[in-house]
Amino acid sequence: MNDSAKLPSPPVEPGTLGFERDSLQPAEPVSSLGASEEDRELIAAEPAGAGRRIVATSCLLLLCFAAISGAATATPPAIRSKPYRVLLVVEHWSDPYGLVVNSETDKFQPVAALLKAWSVPFDILRLDQQHLDASYLFRRSGGIRYGAVIWLADPPSYGEQDLISLEAATRAGTSLIIVDSRFLDPTLDKLLGLKFKDFYTSTDTFRVTREHYITHDIAAGKNAPSAQSHDYSDRLWVQPTIAEVLIAQGQHPALTLNQLGLGISALWLGSPNLSVLCESSFWRNLFFRSLVWSLGYVVVPNVDYAHRIIFELDDWGTADKGFLSYWRYLEPSEETIRQNLIVPLQQHHGIASAEVNTGYVDRQSKRVVSPWIQRFTDLYGLHQDYASTRKGLKDAADAGVLDIESHGWTHMEPNLESPPGPWWTADLAGEGSMVGWYAEFEDQRRGEEVPAVTQIYHMKRSLEELQEDFGQQALELKPGNNSWSKSQFNNTAGLAARVGFGLFHGDKATYYLDHELVIDMADVIPDFNSGYDLLGDLNPERWPDHPDGPVILGFHDRDIALDHNFMERLFAVLPTNYETFGTNQYIGIIHTEVKSSADGDGLQLTFTQDSHYCAYFANHSSSWRLWLSDPLREQLAGSHLEVSIDGKPTRIKTADLDHEDLTIDLPPGLGIHAWKVEAARNSKEP
Ligand SMILES: [Zn+2]
């Protein structure tokens, strides 16, 4: 079902907000009321003069909170909107093509992964290729393009970069968050109200030096900093000129705030590195709340990821189980799948993903054929019946407990002919058994990568045939043998993005994929492997915290083949508060585009769920959490509110505003969903 035609379209261009109409002061000249949005933004963007004036608005939508007017003299106060989009400024990006963000080579990866996990829209500006200037920071109309800039760069000099344009953007409403940087530039010093002094090492505990929205949880005893007693890392010693210190480590500031105006701030976080933003709940929480403070609000998926797990069962349809001495078993039949997969999943209200291969390497005909017609007694005397397997997988998918995903096409080297092959006729006790032959996206046997064009061909065959055999659009690629190519042009994750996959999971790496960005989710999504004879090593109590993404647990069709109680045993080992999570649901969530836009006199959020990546939501609802900074929340709590979803009125309890976040539940249906809050007309402020 596609509801997009029935739902309101965003009334302004993507990435823009325009609350100006309602934010106008009573004193606003009539002429500007009649001006077009672009004109008003032009007014808003006039450069500041000698003085700055902060004008608070009185209406509901104090999202942008304020305007700092132009010159202190004649220019009338103009109210600025705050776009729900972040600019991530990075010093260096290892991919010259600007596609793949890699945890091993890109220092900024943890922040990119977190923003993606939180569904916060962002652009990346790389100082190694791009020149920062007003063309990035301002829209054509003159309004700001970004609600916040997250600054992760830390070069000894910024050379020709135009940091004055950044100062202009902050005057126009863009907030600034600088993390793990010495900010060696006078303009950055001035914005932060801070000077870099020296490096230092200290094992002192962090303490809250000022009550603030950002430090609220820590002051309340939640997310307390872990002991620093064995952390001798280099830290940055900064000295405030006008900034307030919110968190300190002994005499050293660790988090500072320079409030440039209502709703406009410049924050500095002295985290020892960027990985801790994912790994430490203390730093993660400070970073998240800094973001809410800077943007005014943040909308995140309403999923308790800390207790979610994705099950992946690999190897459905592969040929090797019928002839490899070290990997032999009966491909599970329809009955085995029903009793030992579907039933236990249903009993636990669970879901799993089958990583399927549709290209069966047939050693007799020396061709790739369909697995689902294979019916034979194998080398070890087992009666294999793959038609039954396919039926079982279809039943599980129809029962809603199984997503069908791609494990590649054949699970095998694309070139089975050349030396040291041909593999087709190689002795299965010798060359034919070599594990390198059983990897599809990296030529392990010959120590080479697989060329991009060959990988793409295999991915496309897989997608086509999964559609043909199961009527399903696979959205995840999981390469076999944890083998994949990593160089720029052959990067398997990048190629998977190109053919339309939304998630890539090697055994030890998970990437978010779309056509423009491929992000390593290291430190956000932990992954583990298990098996019927390995469950004792699972040790969930030792898993790292994962508040922003599910755990992915890999095992095989083999485990239910060799141990019919495997699924029950697996559920028994998992902590009782864990629930399974579907791959396609996860992909749908991380591909939902959240935007905010103005429509009349309210805050409107739009959630775009397309028919490809977000197909799951055609028949399922989704839930989101709107985090509000204190000033906005207090403003909302003081108003009589009308809330609507897709144009239909819904309720918001006053008590909801006692908490820091609101839940937004969206109905099933693809296209654009709109959530809107506005002040009731009869109680509106003049
Ligand atoms: Zn496999």
Query: In whole angstroms, how far apart are CA 485 and each of 21, 421, 456?
Result: 53, 21, 12
| Other CB atoms within 10 Å distance of the CB of residue 316 | 24
* Residue 321 CA, ligand 1 centroid: distance in Å: 11
Residues with CB under 5 A from ligand 1 (ion): 314-315, 480
Q: Please indicate, yes or no, whether residues 289 and 226 belong to a single structural domain of this protein.
A: yes
Q: 242 exposed, middle or buried (CB, 10 Å; 0-12, 13-18, 19+)? A: exposed
* Residue 581 CA, ligand 1 centroid: distance in Å: 21
Query: In whole angstroms, how far apart are CA 328 and each of 320, 360, 461, 468, 632?
Result: 7, 15, 26, 27, 61
pLDDT confidence tier of residue 459, bands split at 50, 70 and 90: very high
- Given 237, 271, 301, the domain boundary residue is 301
Q: Please indicate, yes or no, whether residues 291 and 348 belong to a single structural domain of this protein.
A: no
Q: Please indicate, yes or no, whether residues 525 and 616 belong to a single structural domain of this protein.
A: no
DSSP state letter for 408:
-
| Non-local CB neighbours of 39 within 8 Å, separated by 6+ positions | 32, 141
Q: Please indicate, yes or no, whether residues 186 and 237 belong to a single structural domain of this protein.
A: yes
Q: In the prediction, which pLDDT does 681 show?
A: 62
Q: Please indicate, yes or no, whether residues 556 and 612 belong to a single structural domain of this protein.
A: no
What is the largest distance, in Å, between two alpha-carbon atoms of the chain?
93
Q: In the prediction, which pLDDT does 682 show?
A: 53
Q: Domain span at residue 616?
A: 589-679
* Residue 283 CA, ligand 1 centroid: distance in Å: 37
* Residue 438 CA, ligand 1 centroid: distance in Å: 8
* Residue 481 CA, ligand 1 centroid: distance in Å: 6
Evaluate if residue 465 carries a pLDDT over 70: yes
Tokens representing 246 are 């919110």
Residues 555-586: tens digit of each pLDDT: 999 999 999 999 999 999 999 999 999 999 99
Evaluate if residue 129 carries a pLDDT over 60: yes
Q: What are phi and psi of 437, to 5 degrees?
A: -65, -20
7/497 Cα distance (integer angstroms): 29
Give ∠ CA 343-510-120 in degrees, rounded to 5.
105
* Residue 483 CA, ligand 1 centroid: distance in Å: 10
Q: Please indicate, yes or no, whether residues 252 and 153 belong to a single structural domain of this protein.
A: yes
Inside any domain, residue 65: no
Residues 197-217: tens digit of each pLDDT: 999 999 999 999 999 999 998
247/255 Cα distance (integer angstroms): 5
Given the structure tokens 């079982």, which residue do they identify? 392
Inside any domain, residue 379: yes
- Among 78-82, 365-369, 620-624, the minimum mean pLDDT is found in 78-82
Inside any domain, residue 8: no
* Residue 74 CA, ligand 1 centroid: distance in Å: 71
Inside any domain, residue 51: no
Residue that wins the pLDDT comparison between 47 and 441:
441
Cβ(254)–Cβ(293) under 8 Å? Answer: no
Cβ(177)–Cβ(150) under 8 Å? Answer: yes
Give ∠ CA 390-396-399 in degrees, rounded to 5.
140
Q: In the prediction, which pLDDT does 49 show?
A: 34
The CATH number that applies at residue 498 is 3.20.20.370
The CATH number that applies at residue 627 is 2.60.40
* Residue 480 CA, ligand 1 centroid: distance in Å: 4
For range 361-372, the mean pLDDT: 98
Element (H, E) at 263: none
* Residue 482 CA, ligand 1 centroid: distance in Å: 8
- Given 259, 278, 301, the domain boundary residue is 301
The count of structural domains within the chain is 3
DSSP state letter for 224:
P
* Residue 547 CA, ligand 1 centroid: distance in Å: 28
Evaluate if residue 52 carries a pLDDT over 50: no
Q: Please indicate, yes or no, whether residues 612 and 554 belong to a single structural domain of this protein.
A: no
Inside any domain, residue 549: yes
pLDDT confidence tier of residue 679, bands split at 50, 70 and 90: confident
Q: Give the helix, strand, coil percentages of the chain, each rounded to 5.
A: 30, 25, 45
Q: Please indicate, yes or no, whether residues 448 and 430 belong to a single structural domain of this protein.
A: yes
* Residue 409 CA, ligand 1 centroid: distance in Å: 11
Inside any domain, residue 261: yes
Radius of gyration of the chain (CA): 28
* Residue 214 CA, ligand 1 centroid: distance in Å: 45
Half-sphere exposure of 530 (CA within 13 A, CB side): 24
* Residue 412 CA, ligand 1 centroid: distance in Å: 10
136/87 Cα distance (integer angstroms): 9
Residues 77-105: tens digit of each pLDDT: 222 348 899 999 999 999 999 999 999 99
AA letter at 680: A
Give ∠ CA 186-51-151 in degrees, rounded to 5.
35
Evaluate if residue 166 carries a pLDDT over 90: yes
Q: Please indicate, yes or no, whether residues 540 and 598 belong to a single structural domain of this protein.
A: no
Give ∠ CA 192-196-197 in degrees, rounded to 5.
145
Q: Please indicate, yes or no, whether residues 290 and 169 belong to a single structural domain of this protein.
A: yes
Inside any domain, residue 55: no
Q: Please indicate, yes or no, whether residues 112 and 229 belong to a single structural domain of this protein.
A: yes
Evaluate if residue 114 carries a pLDDT over 70: yes
Distance of CA 48 to the CA centre of its chain: 37
Give ∠ CA 508-514-520 in degrees, rounded to 5.
30
**Mean pLDDT over the full length of the chain:** 87
Tokens representing 5 are 């035609």
Evaluate if residue 415 carries a pLDDT over 50: yes
* Residue 322 CA, ligand 1 centroid: distance in Å: 14
Q: Please indicate, yes or no, whether residues 325 and 294 belong to a single structural domain of this protein.
A: no
The CATH number that applies at residue 166 is 3.40.50.880
Inside any domain, residue 380: yes
- Percent of the residues in the chain that have a pLDDT greater than 90, as a whole number: 77
* Residue 493 CA, ligand 1 centroid: distance in Å: 17
- Given 301, 328, 352, the domain boundary residue is 301
